[in-house]
Structure 1
């Protein structure tokens, strides 16, 4: 225990109502919490590897709790920061104030958990740091778009998948969003809550919507911020995100051109053309970094899109592009390393491995060549700066297990109101997905944040914050279609 910290209070008894007898050993477990910081407790929950056949084995789920700071506790609020592959336990332990407003912290035990396959839970393991560096940063020998280039990327994806299978102790077939949603119901129960209160960001919206599909009668107050449309294919997701990042990049350029330190001049179209020229130049002649890595166009694209997640990061994008234009690679690699959570040559988590594992199991590979050609034509026409670096072979085509997920509309008939928050120029989860999800859900309510960046709650928009917190705290459902400008 940390000196001066109070003992960790125990959880209410588990809620086992309506549970399949085969799952009772899991739903009836009693949690023991250990203090892991002032106001924080941590525990481990045991879950079945396969809910359809619990005899297949068990996994561990790492859970962190920020105890309610007020006297009128409502219950537990599970949170997921996205990914798939991001650590929910780390999200709460490292940045609870960034994630959750103070009024909500007062009323709820905020629960962060590492989904199965992620972080401190039973995790997907693939490569060591040097192998991961080669996988992420090595530049194919053949020209972009050539048959040889495609073969090189396919071989790299196949080797990665085989390493994941070798090093993950048989869990890969069970790393799915549906299983993770079932884990959330297990967490709800062992935390002693009859209903699930939940705040999910980005991919976490798909996780929350999947929970609502599976357990509509157990839905409490759900807020899904920066939604993924569960009915669109993997190809559509990638294409729409490419269009979204192009739109965000144009908004960035319009702002940059108004500033004295902008390395671009002319109109937005002029600046986008100059950026396309820079990317093509780096693609032809990668720039060496001090640590021996070579900055190619793919890594530079990662360094470009990462700051587009939040408008506050645009100055960093300006500084990075100015350095690259002068032949420097250090700032670009610094930003790319943030994206991959790499520090001093060490990968701090397994988000890249888990991201691949979830997506390859969740998305059916049913696109035709005609679908791919149409998507590429759309990218070429509407995202010409992004397009050359957004196109390539699907790494999931080399995954070791066939996908089991489905892409379909989720209605969650019978669920309590579900609040969906969408930001109008969100590059990662474009606004149209939030509109679509809110329309699909029988009880969906849309709140629109007008602005830039990824997700909307606790980002400084009082209108959005009031709508979300009034619902979480008092059950006051926002007016459907509320516009927050």
Structure 2
């Protein structure tokens, strides 16, 4: 299953931010901060020392020139607050006008750095009234310690491996690869960190961030997996929420099999929409008959399982990278022209554009180094979700996934399939699927896109129902939209809600 995530393409500081200075109007008395949970006062009351962002960000991150960065200390294990600690990386752009508070922002993943999120909402009421604050969840990006499983050379080698079939030998080889990867993660990251990188801990970190940023109540904008963080925070701390926008919803009541099959159908739907649009052009690399698009696509990518396509980069374009690059381009229709170009190149025997898209997805910088996006995704997913350890369930999921997304079916399925990576993970999962319940939560807003490939529309409908949230429907072929798709209808409703707490019109569709 591919991760559903979002990527941004794109004053004076109080000495003790935990005192709550700078919130509200100039003459308003700040709302007192709620008391810290027992034993955590030192974390909730720590000052934040903002400074240069020179040592923050991934290999190709570009933070705005006026950005400030800092790290905040949290316990790795909240059951042992006097034990080892982690440092959460933050970025900030201060409000340009009358400040309401901070807006904590997360792009999803899990495993994607959130530092560049502060570029979202520029030249809007969000930038005027909120300190925009991005953060790297524990183990991710510039937070310390970071999850580490593979070296850059090992990651390149893994991406270059040919696809395995579901023969007994292929299944055994895939499961051995998974065990090897899990062993490297345990050795290089440590079991203590791996056991405490899940949503359960991150929402507790978020409450510390709320307090040290000086906010009695949290303002939060979360995309994709960020909606899981938001809903889990709302469930644990409903009384600490002021405003929350959740876009590209993850429905925590779904088990991993349900979620992966919904996502497969979502990607197939957007692939079909892309192929239909492409077919209107006489030079479409998938031909002019959308009904033949899957067969034509497979004819382009299947030979890569035997030999990579030539690229200017000496790595070449592997089969896995071609599939990853295509899926990256399906996250937003803004990438459809690039996808057409990539498939046209592949038809001609080269793979530069698709390799560029795959590198974007996997967090590989131009210097050949990697952000830890993929390693962090695996580690977080494996502690957030129950494991599939029954071979029969794994085989059924594989078969149903191929039927739901035929453009991703390499034709190598059988009545068996390898157990996924999490079945070999060295620490137990810390969360289980459940319906979210947050009594006392103020009105929050869920945005769901009709043709979202990674977090399909119905998940947003379901999450809004569980939270008692206002639902905004966005019509489009993309993953997440609020403040990033350039839609005035949607953005106006989200900004009015965040700034004025004005609820969207019932049934609003943009």
TM-score, normalised by the number of residues in structure 1: 0.92
Distance 2:211 2:18 in 1: 10
**Counterpart secondary structure, 1:346:** coil
Aligned with 1:34 (options 41, 51, 59): 51
**Counterpart secondary structure, 1:22:** coil
1:395 has 2:421 as partner: yes
Native 8 Å contact 1:438 1:444 kept in 2: yes
1:127 has 2:150 as partner: yes
Tell me how many residue pairs correspond in the alignment: 471
Kindly provide the CA deviation profile for residues 158-207 of structure 1, in whole angstroms up to 9, marking residues without a partner as x.
Answer: 22221121122431100111100110000001111110000000110001
Native 8 Å contact 1:362 1:406 kept in 2: yes
Native 8 Å contact 1:8 1:34 kept in 2: no
Kindly provide the CA deviation profile for residues 253-280 of structure 1, in whole angstroms up to 9, marking residues without a partner as x.
Answer: 1111112431232321112221122233
Aligned with 2:278 (options 256, 272, 278): 256
Distance 2:178 2:167 in 1: 17
Native 8 Å contact 1:252 1:314 kept in 2: yes
Native 8 Å contact 2:111 2:377 kept in 1: yes
Structure-2 residue corresponding to 1:347? 369
Structure-2 residue corresponding to 1:13? 19
Kindly provide the CA deviation profile for residues 425-476 of structure 1, in whole angstroms up to 9, marking residues without a partner as x.
Answer: 01011111111101111x3111000111110212122111111111001000
Structure-2 residue corresponding to 1:379? 401
Kindly provide the CA deviation profile for residues 314-353 of structure 1, in whole angstroms up to 9, marking residues without a partner as x.
Answer: 0110010111112112222121111112123523411111
Pairwise CA distance, 1:16: 5.5
Aligned with 1:448 (options 468, 473, 484): 473
Structure-1 residue corresponding to 2:447? 421
Structure-2 residue corresponding to 1:239? 261
Native 8 Å contact 1:165 1:400 kept in 2: yes
**Counterpart secondary structure, 1:323:** helix
TM-score, normalised by the number of residues in structure 2: 0.87
Pairwise CA distance, 1:62: 0.9
1:154 has 2:160 as partner: no
TM-aligned CA distance change 1:39 to 1:479, over 3 Å: same
Question: Which of the two has greater helix per residue?
Answer: 1
TM-aligned CA distance change 1:52 to 1:303, over 3 Å: same
Q: Which runs of 5+ in 2 are unaligned?
A: 1-10, 21-31, 54-63
190-199 vs 296-305, greater mean Cα deviation: 296-305
Kindly provide the CA deviation profile for residues 346-400 of structure 1, in whole angstroms up to 9, marking residues without a partner as x.
Answer: 2341111111110000001157555444434433433211234897541111211
1:409 has 2:435 as partner: yes
TM-aligned CA distance change 1:387 to 1:289, over 3 Å: same
TM-aligned CA distance change 1:377 to 1:348, over 3 Å: closer
**Counterpart secondary structure, 1:160:** helix
Pairwise CA distance, 1:52: 1.7
1:59 has 2:80 as partner: no
351-360 vs 460-469, greater mean Cα deviation: 460-469
28-37 vs 250-259, greater mean Cα deviation: 28-37
Structure-2 residue corresponding to 1:79? 105
Kindly provide the CA deviation profile for residues 41-60 of structure 1, in whole angstroms up to 9, marking residues without a partner as x.
Answer: 21111101111221231110
Pairwise CA distance, 1:245: 0.7
Distance 1:208 1:260 in 2: 45
Q: Which runs of 5+ in 1 are unaligned?
A: 1-5
Kindly provide the CA deviation profile for residues 125-173 of structure 1, in whole angstroms up to 9, marking residues without a partner as x.
Answer: 1222101111233225xx5222222222222222222112112243110
**Counterpart secondary structure, 1:155:** helix
Native 8 Å contact 2:450 2:456 kept in 1: yes
Structure-2 residue corresponding to 1:226? 248
Native 8 Å contact 1:242 1:387 kept in 2: no
Structure-1 residue corresponding to 2:355? 333
Pairwise CA distance, 1:240: 1.5
Distance 1:475 1:74 in 2: 11
Distance 1:392 1:256 in 2: 35
Distance 1:100 1:238 in 2: 34
Structure-2 residue corresponding to 1:3? none
Question: Which of the two has greater strand per residue?
Answer: 1
